[in-house]
């Protein structure tokens, strides 16, 4: 379903298929303490396996891994994964480099570009995600682009001795098409 790896162009960001050229940015992303907290990532990442991981993403037709770039600089990644082809659903995850790129609209635009692409080029009906209860900024962005809260996974994350709930959200094709926010037109390249 995701065999074609497009480049999607917005007003603020360009989404490009990830590759080895983005590994340095990925390593910065996954080692940033704030990004680790927001994503609930306890494990570290080794450079060599990370390079191999990014080099092979183009070969996977069940997922779409895109680098979020601003003026040709890697500022994060957005991924469609956990494809359930039988039920026409998948998961979305996104991570930005950290506080130096937060609040600039990069994530909002990237999510909008990906949702527009998924709903325009595949039969996918449902895109879901999880966000931790302390990440109000992300929840606001997800709601802004059409995600709605479906439920709560209680005590899903243990971070620095405290339990946190995971909020489960989704957007359906009919909801996105009917109420699509104006976030900038996307162009395929």
Contact indicator for 152, 118 with CB cutoff of 8 Å = no
Let me know if residue 108 belongs to a domain: yes
Q: What is the pTM of this model?
A: 0.90
Cα(177)–Cα(174) distance, integer angstroms: 5
CATH assignment of the domain containing 95: 3.40.630.30
**Which structural domain, as residue segments, surrounds residue 31?**
8-181
pLDDT of res. 29: 85
Let me know if residue 123 belongs to a domain: yes
**Residues in the chain with pLDDT values less than 70:** 178-189
Let me know if residue 186 belongs to a domain: no
Let me know if residue 48 belongs to a domain: yes
Burial class of residue 44, CB neighbours in 10 A (0-12, 13-18, 19+): exposed
Percent of all residues in the chain with a pLDDT value above 70, rounded to a whole number? 94
Let me know if residue 2 belongs to a domain: no
pLDDT of res. 179: 62
Q: Write out the two tokens for 93.
A: 């995850």
pLDDT of res. 186: 46
pLDDT of res. 33: 86
Let me know if residue 104 belongs to a domain: yes
Let me know if residue 187 belongs to a domain: no
How many folded domains does the chain comprise? 1
Let me know if residue 79 belongs to a domain: yes
């Amino acid at each position: 379903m995701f065999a074609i790896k497009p480049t999607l162009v917005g007003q603020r960001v360009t989404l490009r298929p990830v590759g080895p050229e983005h590994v340095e940015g990925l390593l910065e992303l996954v080692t940033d303490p704030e990004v680790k907290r927001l994503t609930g990532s306890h494990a570290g990442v080794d450079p060599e396996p990370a390079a191999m991981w990014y080099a092979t993403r183009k070969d996977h037709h069940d997922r779409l891994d895109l680098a979020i770039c601003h003026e040709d600089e890697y500022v994060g990644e957005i991924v469609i994964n956990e494809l359930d082809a039988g039920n026409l659903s998948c998961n979305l995850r996104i991570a930005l480099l950290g506080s130096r790129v937060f609040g600039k609209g990069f994530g909002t635009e990237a999510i909008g570009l990906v949702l527009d692409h998924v709903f325009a080029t595949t039969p996918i009906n449902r895109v879901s995600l999880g966000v931790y209860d302390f990440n109000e900024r992300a929840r606001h962005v997800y709601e802004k682009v059409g995600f709605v809260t479906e439920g709560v996974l209680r005590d899903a994350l243990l971070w620095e001795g405290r339990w946190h709930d995971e909020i489960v959200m989704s957007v359906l094709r009919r909801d996105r098409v009917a109420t699509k926010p104006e976030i900038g037109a996307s162009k395929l390249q």
